[in-house]
Structure 1
Amino acid sequence: MAQQTQSPKSSLVGQSICTSYSQDQSQSLYYSQDKSQSVKHLLECLPLSQESERPLLATLADIADALAIDDLSFSHFATAISELSSQEVSTRRSSLHMRHARDELSMHLAIAQHEEMLIKRWLEVLQAEPNAQDGTSALEKRKQALHAKAMEYKRETDSLKQQLPQDPPCTISELSAFQKQLKDKENTLAEKRRKVEAFQGLPANIELARHELRIARDEQMKLIQLRERLLDRMAVGMS
C-alpha cells in the first residue's frame, strides 16, 4: 500500500523515462551483460501505474539478450533484426546449395551402385563358366579367321574391278533396246505361226509356202545374227 501512494514526482519521472525509451529520442537505456540487473533497473524506473507492463519489459530484455545487443533502443533492435534476417537468408541459401550437392552425390552414388551391381553380375557369370578361357580363345581364333576371309574377299573384289573395262562397249540402255527388239521379233514369229496353223486346212500352195519359208528363214537368220552380236558384246564387256 505504501508503493501505491508514491508521489506524483516519481510517477512523472517514470513516464518521462518510458516516453524517452519508446520514442528513441533523448536517452537510451543500456542493457548490461547481467540481464537480471538490467531488468531490475528498468522495473525500478517504471511507475506503479504500469505494473502490468513489467512482464513485457522482461520479455523485451530476454529478446535483447538473445539478439546480443546492449542498447534497448528501437534502432538497435531494427539493426539486430535486419542482421538476423540476412543471416537467415544466407543460411537458407547455403542449405539449398548443400541440398543440391547432396542430391547430385546421391545420384552419382546410385549410378556407381548400379554399375557395381552389373560388374558383380558379370563376374559371377564369367566365374560360373568352367571353360571361359577356352571360349575366349575360340572366339578370338574365329575372329581372326573371319578377318582373313574378309581380306581375301576384298582382294578378289579389287582384282575383278581392275579387270573390268573402263568404258564398257554395251550399256544398259543398249541391252534394253536389244531385248525389246528380240521380244518384237518373237511376237512376229508367233503371229506367223498362228497364220500357218490357220492355213493348214486349205489346199497346199507350194509357191506361197516356199515364199513364207524363205521369209521365216530370213527372219530366223536375222535373230540368230542379232543374238550373236549381243553375246559378243556381253563377252567383251565381261573380259
Structure 2
Amino acid sequence: MSRSVLVTGGNRGIGLAIARAFADNGDQVAITYRSGEPPRELTDAGVLAVRCDITDAEQVEQGYKEIEEKHGPVEVLVANAGITKDQLLMRMSEEDFTSVVDTNLNGTFRVVKRANRGMLRAKKGRVVLISSVVGLLGSAGQANYAASKAGLVGFARSLARELGSRNITFNVVAPGFVDTDMTQVLTEEQRESIVSKVPLGRYARPEEIAAAVRFLASDDASYITGAVIPVDGGLGMGH
C-alpha cells in the first residue's frame, strides 16, 4: 500500500536518493527544502516539495499541515536535513556550534515530535534518522557536527523504548563518506586520503544509503528498533 513518506532535506544528495527510492516504491513522498528550487525530476514524479526551515517550529507546523492535507498523516519519517560548519575548536564560534546542533539535532526533535502526533493515533510508524560515521568515530575539526550526529543515537534509542509499545520504530543510519556535491568539492588528495581509510576502498553511492533506509521502513524490518546501521564501507567498525 502507498504510504505517506516525508524526507527532510530531500532536495539533494542523500535525501534526494532516499526520496527517489520511496517514490519508485509507489509511496506518496514529500520532501522539505530550505532554499533554492526542488529538483524538477521529483516534482515531475509527483513528489510534494515543501519549503521549510526545520530550525523554525512554526515552519515545521505549517509544513506538516500542507503534507497532511495532500498525503494524509506521515507514516514514514526520514530525518535527513543537516548542515556542516567545520572548524577547529579554538576557532569555532558559538554560532558555528549552536547553528549546527540546532539544525541537525534540535531540528530532528521538531520534525519527529510533530510526526509522532499522527503515528500515535495510528498506533504505527517508522522513523529513520540519518546520522554519520563521524558521530561514532569522531573527526578533527567537526566537533559540532559529530556532537549533533552522536546525539541522534541517544535520541532514537530513547524514543524506541518510549514508543515501542505503540508499534513505532526508531532506527539510525550512519553513512560514511558518500559521493555527493558536499564531498565532490574536496581536492583529489583529500579524496584519496579518505578512501585509503575505507576497507572497501571507495565512496558510497547515495543509492546505497537509500536502500538501507527503505529497508528499515519496510515490513521486513518490523522487529528492528533502536538499531544503528552503518553504511560506511567498514570505516567506523568497532565504534
Per the TM superposition, whether the score is higher than 0.5 is no
More helix by share: 1
TM-score norm. by structure 2 comes to 0.18
| Higher RCO (C-alpha 8 Å, min separation 6) | 2
More strand by share: 2
Bigger Rg, which one: 1
TM-score norm. by structure 1 comes to 0.18
